[in-house]
Structure 1
Amino acid sequence: MNKLAWVLVSISFVVGSSAHAQKEIPKAEGYDQCPLGYINTLGTKCVSPIYYEVEPTYGEACESGWMNIGAGYCKKKTILGIF
C-alpha cells in the first residue's frame, strides 16, 4: 500500500508542477531565434513538444534555481537539476 501511495504522490507532483509550464512562447524582444528546447515557427513564436517552465530574462541573469537556455529565456531546473 505504501508503494501505491508513493506513486500517486509522485504523479500528482509531476502533473501539478507542469501547470505553469509553456509549450508555446513568444520570441524574446531583440531575438530572432528560439531558446534551447524550442522550435522556431518562423513567425513570432517558439514551440516545444515538452512542457518547460520558462521566463524571459529581460537582459538579467537567471535567478537561483533557474538556468539560461538562450534567446532571452531562463528555464526552471528540475528536481535533479538537469534538462
Structure 2
Amino acid sequence: MQTLPLGLATVLLTLPPLALPLLAPGPAAAQKRIPKLPGYDECPLGYVNDLKQHCNSPIYYEVKPTDGKPCDSGWMNIGAGYCKKKTLGIF
C-alpha cells in the first residue's frame, strides 16, 4: 500500500472543512419548488401552480420571500411575495 506525503495528506484533510461553508444554504437558494406564502393563492412569475401548497418551475431560480418589504438591489419582484435574483443584470 502506498502512503501519501505528509504535506499532501494534510492538505487533503483540511479541504473538506473549508468547503463546508460553501455547501451551507444561504438566505436565498435556487429552487424549482417553492411554497405558496400565506395570503397568496397564485404563484410568482416563472412558476406553475400545482393546485396544492407549492409552485413549480422547470428552471432553477434564486428566490427569497419579500417579507412585505421591497426587493434588495440586484433582485426583482416576481409577485406572490417573492423576489428573484437578477442574472445578467436584467432578468
TM over 0.5: yes
Tell me the residue number matched to 2:80: 71
Which structure's CA Rg is the greater one? 2
1:21 aligns with 2:6: no
Give the alignment's TM-score, normalised by structure 2: 0.67
Tell me the residue number matched to 1:10: none
- The 5 Å alignment of 1:1-83 reads 20-78=29-87, 80-83=88-91
Aligned residue pairs total: 64
**Cα deviation 1:19-73 (Å, max 9, x = unaligned):** 8300000001110000000000000000000000000011110011100000100
Return 5+ residue gaps in structure 1 as ranges. 1-18
The runs of at least 4 aligned residues of structure 1 exceeding 4 Å deviation read none
* Identity percentage of aligned residues: 73
Q: Secondary structure at the match of 1:62?
A: coil
CA distance in structure 1 between the partners assigned to 2:38 and 2:85 by the alignment:
20
